[in-house]
Structure 1
Amino acid sequence: MSENPYPEHQPGGGYLPGGYQPQGASGPSGPTLPSGAPNPYGNLPRPAQPSISAMVLTGVSAMLTLSVYCACIGLPPLILGIMALVKHSQDPAGASRLAKIGWVVLAVMTVLAIAGLVLAFAVYDMGGPTPTSPYPTY
């Protein structure tokens, strides 16, 4: 009854099924995987690194959207940034394309907003003083 059905855990000894150790691992017990042998777990994909561009786009757009004055500027790029973050794990190239489109939309919306402000101030300023204005006209 003193027989332990579980093998002893060796520090640093990561065992694979069948008693194999990863290639290059040295240990007192268990054979190593032969060179060129397939991994019993299959080729697992590496986890995708988060898209920094999409994260920054989402943050900047969220701040612009939350400020009441720039909500119209920040909302479309915010949606594109969130879509890029969600899509990144399945399609990194498509997510990168969405992030680039989001940056372009943000830049175009910003330029249009600045041009609109300049135009609004120019039109407002062209009217001159009104007849009820306390300022004299020359």
Structure 2
Amino acid sequence: MTDTKAAILHPGKLPVNDRGNGAATIPLVTRKCGARSMINGITSFQPGARIGLHFHNCEESVMILEGRAIAEIGDDRHYLQAGDTTWIPAGVPHRFLNESDEVMRIFWTYADIEASRTMLATGVEQSIDEEHEKARRL
């Protein structure tokens, strides 16, 4: 048995973090609800939104919930739609883009509570927890 209680999360009732460039994230499973080994959340991309090329210190999986996405993973460009799911090993540069005229939403999971993101353009590494704590709330 575990001493941690289960959590039920309602994305519509949680704070939304502005990621800039038309992207906004709702952290879901995090340390705050008792997670010890993984984190996840939902990020929405407005038409034309993109995030910079980056990599993580752990595996990541992303499922397209709504809309159409482009996933740039390593040197490959993939066209995705709702239901399509990626698995990205630690250290592999990637990013998601919305080049459509509709909102695109993804559900992401990091396989480590200590997940971090390193931006290729700057080399700056930041923990995902820290990134969400510093984010401007919408």
TM bucket by the smaller chain?
under 0.3
Whichever structure has more strand as a proportion of its residues is: 2
Structure scoring higher RCO (CA < 8 A, sep ≥ 6) equals 2
Give the number of the structure whose residues are more often helix, by fraction: 1
TM value normalised by structure 2: 0.18
TM-score normalized by the length of structure 1: 0.18
